[in-house]
Chain A
Amino acid sequence: MTPLQGCLLVSALLFAIGLAGAVTRRNAILALVGIELMLNAANLNFIAFWRYGAHPEALTGMMVVIFSIAIAAAEAAVGLALIIAIYRHYRTVNLDEINNLKG
C-alpha cells in the first residue's frame, strides 16, 4: 500500500462520512458540518496528488487548497448566516420542517 493510496483511502472515508452526515443529520448546522467534511476530503485529495505526483516542487496543489479553504471559509460564513436567517424566520433549524418549496 503506497502512501498515496493510504491518503486517498482516508480522503474517501472522510468524504463518505461527510456525505452521510450531510444527508442524514436533521440539524442544519450539522448538515453544514458534513458539507465542510466533504470539502476537506477534496482538499486532502489535492494535497495527496500534489505531494505524490509528478512535480511535487511546483506548489500548485498547495495553492489550490489554500484557495479552496478560503472559499470554504466564505461559504461557511454565508451558510451560517443563511441558517441564522432561516432560524429567525422559522424558529427552527430542523431541515425536515423547512419545506416551503414543496410542490
Chain B
Amino acid sequence: MTWIAQNLWLIPVLPLAAASVIAVNKQRQRKLAATLAIGSMVMAFLLSLCAFSAALLHRGGNGVFREAAGFNWFQFGGQWLQLGWVLDPLTAVMLVMVSFVSLLIFIFSVGYMAHDENFMRFFCFMSLFAAAMLGVVIANNLLLFFVCWEIVGLTSYLLIGFWYHKPSAAAAAKKAFITTRIGDLGLLLGMVWLYAETGTLNFYANGNGCLEHSALAGMLTHMTAAGMAVSTAIGLLIFLSAVGKSGQLPLHVWLPDAMEGPTPVSALIHAATMVAAGVFLVARVYPLMSVHPDGAAAETTALTVVTWIGALTAIFAASIAVAQTDIKRILAYSTVSQLGYMMLGLGVGGVAVGMFHLITHAFFKALLFLGSGSVIHGCHEEQDVRKMGGLKKFMPVTFATYAIGMLALAGFPLFFSGFWSKDEILHAAHGWPVSHIPFYLGCAGALLTAFYMTRQVALVFFGEYRSSGRESAHSSSKTDEHEKSAPTHVGGYEGKGEPHESPAVMTVPLVILAVFAVLLGFIGTPAWPWFDGFLKGEPVAFDFSRLTENSTLGLMLASAVIVFTGLGLGWWLYGKRQRKTVEEPDVLQVAQPYFFRLLENKYFVDEIYAATVIRFNAWAARACDFLDRWIWGGVVLLVTWVALGLSWLYRLTDEFVVNIGFDAGCETLREGGGEISKWHSGRVQTYLRVIGVALVVLVLFLIWERKS
C-alpha cells in the first residue's frame, strides 16, 4: 500500500485542525485565520496531488487502482463498526478538484471578506466545510460518509446564515437545512437497510465491501414487497439524499435561496463542491445503482430514475434562469440545471460521464461565482443585473474571465471544457436505449443555458452603466437623464459612483480558474477520453477515428449549432438592443407576459409547496396543538380535578375526623398523665406510708387466707 493511501486521512484533518485553532482564537486575528485556513488548504492540496499522482502512476496494473485503509471505531454487540478511507481514481480526482477550488476560493475570500467583522468565523466555517467535504470524498465507509455529509450540511447552514441578522438569510439557512434533511433521511434509511442486508458499511474491503460483487449479488436476489430488488430500493433511498444535496427536482428549492450567503460561500458550497457531493454520492454507489441480473438490460430502475430526475431538473432550472434578475440567482438556477446534467450523465453514461461534467463544472462555476462576487463587490453590493451594465469598461479582468466561464458553461465548441463534458452527456443520452426524451430535454437545456448566460453577460457587461450607485430610488425621468450621460456623471455620487475593478487577491484566482475552465476540457474529448480511461483503470490512446464512430461528429455539430443558436438568440434579444433603464420590462416579458411571469416566479414551486406541504404541515401542527390543548390537556385537566377532589376529601377527613379524634386522645392522655403525676408527689414519706398501708393490707390478706 502506498504511503499516501495509508495517510489519506491527513487531507481532511488538516483543514479540520485549522478550523479548530481558528475557532478558539480571538476575534481580531484576521491574519492568523487566513494564514491557517489557506496554509492548511495548501497542504491538503499538495497531499491531494500526491494521491492523484499515486493513482496516476499506478495505471499500469490490471483493473482499477484501489487502496483502502481504516480502523475500528467502536464495538456494539459482537461487531466492530469501522471507519475507513479509500484511494481510487474517483477519490483522487475529486480530492484535487475540491482542494484546489477551495484553495482559490479561500484566497478570493481574503479580499472579498476583508471588511467583514466576522472574518474569523467565516474562515473557521470555511475550513470546517473543506474538512467535511474532503472527508466525504475519501470516505470508504457509508457511516463516515454520512457523518461528513451531515457536517457539510451543517456548515452549509452556518454559511448561508452567515449574515444572520438579515431575516432572508436566516430563513434561507433554515430552508436549506430542512430541505436537505428530508433527503438525508433517505441516506440514513438506505444506510441502515444496507447494513441489515450486507452486514458491512465499507464500500471496498477486499471483496467483503458492500459495493463488491458478493454483497451486490446477495442484494440482487432479495426482493422487497413490491417486487423490487433490495439493491434498487437502497439505491433509490440513497439517491433521495443526493436529490436533496444536489438540488434536484423536487428538492431544488433551497439552492437558489442559499445565495443569501457571502459570494465565496455560494461559489464554494453551492456551485463547485457541496452540491456536487450528491453527484459524487451517486458516482460512489454506482455499482449498487447499476447492479443487474446477468442477461438483463443494463438500464436499472435506479439509474432510470436518476436519468429522468436529472433531465427534468436540467430543463426546468434552465428555463427559470432565463427570467431571473439577481446575478447570483441566475447562476444558482444554472447550477441546479448543470447538476441535473450530471445526474443525467450518471444515469445514461456511467460514472465517467457524470464526473467529467462535475469536474469541469466545478471550475467554471466557481469562476462564474467568484466573477459575480467581484462584480457585486465592484458595484457596491448590488446584485440586480438590471442595475448593472457596461461593466466591461470598469472591470476588464473580471469581464475577460467571466466571459470565459460563461462560454464554458454555455458549451462554446472546441475550446471550452463545458463543451466537451456536456457533449459527452448528450452523446450518452442519445445512445440511451430506454427513451430519447432525456436527450431532447438535454438539448433544450443546452439551448437555454447558452441563452440565459448570454442574457446575463449582455446585461452586466455590455451597454451602459444603468445605476448611480445606491441612489436608484429617484424618479424615472431623472434616471433617464442620467442614463443618457452615464458613465461620466455617475462618478459624482459621494464615493458610491463608478464600479471599480477588484484587487489582485480576487482577480488572480479568477484568472487561474479561467485557465482551467479552458484546459480541462481536453482530458475528456471523444478523440482522447483520458478521464474515462483513468476512472476505469484502462489506458487510452489518442485516436481520431473515434470521432466518426457512433455519430459522434454529428452530435458535436448538432450541439455546436444549438449553442450558437442560444448565443445568437441571447445576443439578438439582449445584446444588440440594450435596455436603457432599470425599470424597463424584459424583452421576453413584453412578448410573453404570462409565461415570463411563470418563469420569474420559478413555476410557483415555492408557492405550491407553501400551499401544500407547508400548509399541510401547519395544519398538522395546528391539529397537534388542538389535540395537545384540548384532548390531552383535557385528560390531564380531568385527572387534575379528580386528584384535587380527592385531596379535598382527604383534607376534610383529616381535619374533622382524624384530627378531632387524635386531639381528643391526646387530651385524655394529657389529663390522665396529670392525674397520675399527682400521685408522684416526690415526698419520700408519702411513699413510705403507702408501702406501710400496703404491707398492712398484705398481712391482713395473708391472715384472712390462712383462716379460710
Interface residues of A (CB under 8 A from B): 19, 22-25, 31, 95-96, 98-103
A24 neighbours in B (Cβ, 8 Å): 685
- Pairwise interchain contact B683-A23, C-beta atoms closer than 8 A: no
Of A22, A25, A31, A101, the contact of B682 (CB 8 Å cutoff): A101
- Pairwise interchain contact B688-A103, C-beta atoms closer than 8 A: no
- Pairwise interchain contact B685-A22, C-beta atoms closer than 8 A: yes
Q: Which stretch in B263-271, B388-396, B673-681 binds the other chain?
A: B673-681
Q: What's the nearest-Cβ distance from chain B to residue A44, in Å? A: 18
**B593 contacts partner chain A, Cβ-Cβ < 8 Å:** no
- Pairwise interchain contact B681-A102, C-beta atoms closer than 8 A: yes
Q: How far is the CA of A9 from the CA of B678 in the complex (A)?
A: 37
A19 neighbours in B (Cβ, 8 Å): 688, 692
Q: How far is the CA of A95 from the CA of B687 in the complex (A)?
A: 12
- Pairwise interchain contact B689-A23, C-beta atoms closer than 8 A: yes
- Pairwise interchain contact A96-B683, C-beta atoms closer than 8 A: yes
Q: How far is the CA of A24 from the CA of B685 in the complex (A)?
A: 7
Q: What's the nearest-Cβ distance from chain A to residue B379, in Å? A: 105
7 A-B residue pairs with Cβ-Cβ distance under 8 Å, sorted by A, are: A23-B688, A25-B685, A31-B684, A95-B685, A99-B682, A100-B682, A101-B682
A100 neighbours in B (Cβ, 8 Å): 682
**CB-nearest residue of chain B relative to A101?**
B682
A103 neighbours in B (Cβ, 8 Å): 676-680, 682
Using a CB-CB cutoff of 8 Å, which residues 669-708 of chain B contact chain A? 676-685, 688-689, 692
Q: How far is the CA of A42 from the CA of B485 in the complex (A)?
A: 149
Q: How far is the CA of A31 from the CA of B687 in the complex (A)?
A: 13
- Pairwise interchain contact B692-A102, C-beta atoms closer than 8 A: no
Q: How far is the CA of A41 from the CA of B322 in the complex (A)?
A: 139
- List 5 extra interface pairs beyond A98-B682, A102-B680, CB under 8 A: A23-B692, A95-B685, A102-B677, A102-B681, A103-B682
- Pairwise interchain contact A22-B680, C-beta atoms closer than 8 A: no
Q: What's the nearest-Cβ distance from chain B to residue A87, in Å? A: 15
Using a CB-CB cutoff of 8 Å, which residues 623-680 of chain B contact chain A? 676-680
Q: What's the nearest-Cβ distance from chain A to residue B696, in Å? A: 10
- Pairwise interchain contact A95-B689, C-beta atoms closer than 8 A: no
- Pairwise interchain contact B682-A102, C-beta atoms closer than 8 A: yes
- Pairwise interchain contact A95-B683, C-beta atoms closer than 8 A: yes
Q: How far is the CA of A19 from the CA of B694 in the complex (A)?
A: 13
A22 neighbours in B (Cβ, 8 Å): 685, 688
Using a CB-CB cutoff of 8 Å, which residues 354-378 of chain B contact chain A? none
A23 neighbours in B (Cβ, 8 Å): 685, 688-689, 692
**CB-nearest residue of chain A relative to B683?**
A99
Q: What's the nearest-Cβ distance from chain A to residue B345, in Å? A: 108
A98 neighbours in B (Cβ, 8 Å): 682, 684
Q: How far is the CA of A45 from the CA of B688 in the complex (A)?
A: 21
Q: What's the nearest-Cβ distance from chain B to residue A38, in Å? A: 10
Q: What's the nearest-Cβ distance from chain B to residue A93, in Å? A: 12
Q: How far is the CA of A19 from the CA of B688 in the complex (A)?
A: 8
Q: What's the nearest-Cβ distance from chain B to residue A60, in Å? A: 25
Q: What's the nearest-Cβ distance from chain A to residue B521, in Å? A: 116
B689 neighbours in A (Cβ, 8 Å): 23
Q: What's the nearest-Cβ distance from chain A to residue B234, in Å? A: 91
Q: How far is the CA of A25 from the CA of B683 in the complex (A)?
A: 12
Q: What's the nearest-Cβ distance from chain A to residue B79, in Å? A: 80
B681 neighbours in A (Cβ, 8 Å): 99, 102
Q: How far is the CA of A98 from the CA of B677 in the complex (A)?
A: 16
Q: What's the nearest-Cβ distance from chain B to residue A97, in Å? A: 10
Instruction: Encode contact with A along B279-301: 1 for CB under 8 Å, 0 otherwise.
Output: 00000000000000000000000
Q: How far is the CA of A98 from the CA of B681 in the complex (A)?
A: 10
Q: What's the nearest-Cβ distance from chain A to residue B580, in Å? A: 118
**CB-nearest residue of chain A relative to B678?**
A103
A31 neighbours in B (Cβ, 8 Å): 684-685
**CB-nearest residue of chain B relative to A34?**
B688
Q: How far is the CA of A99 from the CA of B682 in the complex (A)?
A: 4
B688 neighbours in A (Cβ, 8 Å): 19, 22-23
Q: What's the nearest-Cβ distance from chain B to residue A1, in Å? A: 21
B684 neighbours in A (Cβ, 8 Å): 31, 95, 98
Q: What's the nearest-Cβ distance from chain B to residue A22, in Å? A: 6
Q: How far is the CA of A19 from the CA of B677 in the complex (A)?
A: 25
Q: What's the nearest-Cβ distance from chain B to residue A55, in Å? A: 26
Q: How far is the CA of A95 from the CA of B676 in the complex (A)?
A: 21
Pick from A23, A31, A96, A100 the residue with the most CB of B within 10 Å: A23
Q: How far is the CA of A24 from the CA of B689 in the complex (A)?
A: 9
**CB-nearest residue of chain A relative to B679?**
A103
A101 neighbours in B (Cβ, 8 Å): 680, 682
B676 neighbours in A (Cβ, 8 Å): 103
A99 neighbours in B (Cβ, 8 Å): 681-683
Q: How far is the CA of A95 from the CA of B692 in the complex (A)?
A: 18
**CB-nearest residue of chain B relative to A24?**
B685
A102 neighbours in B (Cβ, 8 Å): 677, 680-683
Q: What's the nearest-Cβ distance from chain A to residue B680, in Å? A: 4
Pick from B676, B678, B682, B689 the residue with the most CB of A within 10 Å: B682
Q: How far is the CA of A22 from the CA of B692 in the complex (A)?
A: 11
Q: How far is the CA of A101 from the CA of B692 in the complex (A)?
A: 21
Pick from A24, A31, A99 the residue with the most CB of B within 10 Å: A99
B683 neighbours in A (Cβ, 8 Å): 95-96, 99, 102
Pick from B679, B680, B688, B689 the residue with the most CB of A within 10 Å: B688
Q: What's the nearest-Cβ distance from chain B to residue A63, in Å? A: 26
Q: What's the nearest-Cβ distance from chain A to residue B670, in Å? A: 13
Q: How far is the CA of A7 from the CA of B678 in the complex (A)?
A: 41
Q: What's the nearest-Cβ distance from chain A to residue B277, in Å? A: 93
**CB-nearest residue of chain B relative to A20?**
B692
Q: What's the nearest-Cβ distance from chain A to residue B514, in Å? A: 112
**CB-nearest residue of chain A relative to B673?**
A103
**CB-nearest residue of chain B relative to A22?**
B688
**CB-nearest residue of chain A relative to B690?**
A23
Going nearest first, the 3 A-B pairs with the smallest beta carbon separation are A103-B677, A99-B682, A102-B682
Instruction: Encode contact with A along B311-332: 1 for CB under 8 Å, 0 otherwise.
Output: 0000000000000000000000
B680 neighbours in A (Cβ, 8 Å): 101-103
Q: How far is the CA of A102 from the CA of B676 in the complex (A)?
A: 11
Q: How far is the CA of A31 from the CA of B688 in the complex (A)?
A: 11
Q: How far is the CA of A88 from the CA of B631 in the complex (A)?
A: 83
Q: How far is the CA of A72 from the CA of B59 in the complex (A)?
A: 126
**CB-nearest residue of chain A relative to B688?**
A23
Q: How far is the CA of A22 from the CA of B684 in the complex (A)?
A: 10
Q: How far is the CA of A98 from the CA of B687 in the complex (A)?
A: 14
Q: How far is the CA of A98 from the CA of B688 in the complex (A)?
A: 15
B692 neighbours in A (Cβ, 8 Å): 19, 23
**CB-nearest residue of chain B relative to A28?**
B684
Q: How far is the CA of A102 from the CA of B685 in the complex (A)?
A: 13
B682 neighbours in A (Cβ, 8 Å): 98-103
Q: How far is the CA of A88 from the CA of B112 in the complex (A)?
A: 104
Q: What's the nearest-Cβ distance from chain B to residue A68, in Å? A: 19
Q: How far is the CA of A33 from the CA of B129 in the complex (A)?
A: 110
Q: How far is the CA of A96 from the CA of B683 in the complex (A)?
A: 6
B679 neighbours in A (Cβ, 8 Å): 103
Q: What's the nearest-Cβ distance from chain B to residue A99, in Å? A: 3
A95 neighbours in B (Cβ, 8 Å): 683-685
Q: What's the nearest-Cβ distance from chain A to residue B133, in Å? A: 92
Q: How far is the CA of A42 from the CA of B689 in the complex (A)?
A: 18
Q: How far is the CA of A22 from the CA of B689 in the complex (A)?
A: 9
